[in-house]
Amino acid sequence: MAVRAAHVGRTATGWRVGIALAAVVALLAGLNGGLQLLGLDAPVTSGRLPQVHAVVLTLGFVGTVIALERAVALASRAACAAPALLAIGALSLVLPVPLVLAKAFLLAGTLGLVFVYVRLWRRQRDHAVLISALGAVLAVGANILWWGQLPVPLLLPWLVGFVVLTIAGERLELARVAIPASGETALVAGAASIVVAAIASLLWPYGGVVGFGAAVLALLVVLVRYDVARRTVRSRGLARYMAAGMLAAYGWLAVAGVIWLVAGPAYQGARLDVVVHAVFLGFAFSTIMAHAPVILPAITRGAVAYRYVLWVPVAALQAALILRLVVGDGFGVESAWRVGGVAGVAALLLFLATVAAMMLHAGLAKNTVS
């Protein structure tokens, strides 16, 4: 019985690692598409990658990682279907297969993620689960609208809402001791406002997007007020590293929220570049980097102990974003925009290499001791 249990455990871990590797491939493909959009030579030349760049990174990479982490939390084999479908959808976007097939896998994966949240909600009726589930509903809506040939810039509030509400739900879980009931209610109201504003952005583009910016900023104010990162940033080690990453993430989300609130829709040009990369690089990837030492061991069963070297890619990403978005887009310096874009890609690759090296070192050390 013990041998069989160990075999089942190894099989489950193998599936999780396989899905995680597929997500990494999606990330690399998205970065490749980003280099193409910068007008630079990329390792892989594809006519479709630049057009699906945002979806590959948002639903392909981030969506797969989120769904995998939630499936692990649910501890259910069936729940692994959601990240697996998202990973297949992401790879289908990269490979020369019909686009409609990739969209079908992504839609099935996001529907599976909603199913996972329903299961989690039945286990424990929790505001954090509800907020994240609303984000998954927006991901389903984004997939349906994209299937209907709606351009990605018009889907931005839906994709942003998915990422923002997912992370907001997870931060609420961590702040549970510090946040009062009124704060949780405010976060749920803010999440609902984001959903309503995302829908309104399609019906009344200017007013809807302005409302979306206001809803994002309102949610952000509540998050920052109660987030433990405000206190733990003054501590040491892993706690300080995670807090610094989250506070940087909040700063970039505020940039995007202010632009939407003040200027309305961002469908092209520098304004679109700023809001897209402020959210999906500045907010989402700063959060992923901050939580990697906690999330990765749960997913892969591999150790990622905190080391000071983790600060390097995080700092590099912030510098790259400042160069690209502030100097490049803000002041119209094209060379800074391009250099900042390449530096952002390099920062994410450095982060992947750093984490991989740390996990390999931990694995070798474990085998040596055993």
Q: What single-letter amino acid sits at 325?
A: L
Check residue 6 and give its pLDDT.
Answer: 37
* Confidence check: pLDDT of 294 > 90: no
Residue 111 structure tokens:
């529907």
Residues 6+ apart with CB under 8 A from 57: 26, 27, 30, 280
Residue 127 structure tokens:
């505001």
Mean pLDDT of the chain: 90
3-class SS letters over the chain: CHHHHHHHHHHHHHHHHHHHHHHHHHHHHHHHHHHHHCCCCCCCCCCCHHHHHHHHHHHHHHHHHHHHHHHHHHCCCHHHHHHHHHHHHHHHHHCCCCHHHHHHHHHHHHHHHHHHHHHHHHHCCCHHHHHHHHHHHHHHHHHHHHHCCCCHHHHHHHHHHHHHHHHHHHHHHHCCCCCCHHHHHHHHHHHHHHHHHHHHHHHCHHHHHHHHHHHHHHHHHHHHHHCCHHHHCCCCHHHHHHHHHHHHHHHHHHHHHHHHHHHCCCCCHHHHHHHHHHHHHHHHHHHHHHHHHHHHHHHHCCCCCCCHHHHHHHHHHHHHHHHHHHHHHHHCCHHHHHHHHHHHHHHHHHHHHHHHHHHHHHHHHHHHHC
For the chain, the straight-line distance linking the first and the last C-alpha, in angstroms and rounded, comes to 23
Distance, CA of 292 to CA of 42 (rounded, Å): 27
- Confidence label for 2 from pLDDT (cuts 50, 70 and 90): very low
Residue 8, number of CB atoms within 10 A of its CB: 11
For the segment 84-100, the average pLDDT, to the nearest whole number, is 93
Higher-pLDDT residue of 249, 299: 249
Check residue 358 and give its pLDDT.
Answer: 84
pLDDT tens for 230-251 read 989 999 898 999 999 999 999 9
pLDDT tens for 37-76 read 998 888 887 678 888 999 999 999 999 999 999 998 888 8
For 160-169, 230-239, 271-280, which range has the lowest pLDDT when averaged over its residues? 230-239
Let me know: does 303 contact 362? Beta carbons within 8 Å: yes
Check residue 46 and give its pLDDT.
Answer: 66
* Confidence check: pLDDT of 323 > 70: yes
pLDDT tens for 180-211 read 888 899 999 999 999 999 999 999 999 999 99
Check residue 330 and give its pLDDT.
Answer: 95
Check residue 303 and give its pLDDT.
Answer: 59
User: Smallest Cα–Cα separation from 284: which of 142, 135, 137, 147?
Assistant: 135
* Confidence check: pLDDT of 31 > 70: yes
Q: What single-letter amino acid sits at 368?
A: T
Extents of the domains making up the chain: 1-122
Burial class from Cβ neighbours inside 10 Å (0-12, 13-18, 19+) for residue 335 reads exposed
Check residue 363 and give its pLDDT.
Answer: 62
Check residue 174 and give its pLDDT.
Answer: 77
Residue corresponding to tokens 């200027």: 263
Higher-pLDDT residue of 122, 296: 122
For the segment 337-341, the average pLDDT, to the nearest whole number, is 97
Percent above pLDDT 90 for the chain: 71
* Confidence check: pLDDT of 142 > 80: yes
Residues 6+ apart with CB under 8 A from 287: 167, 245, 246, 249
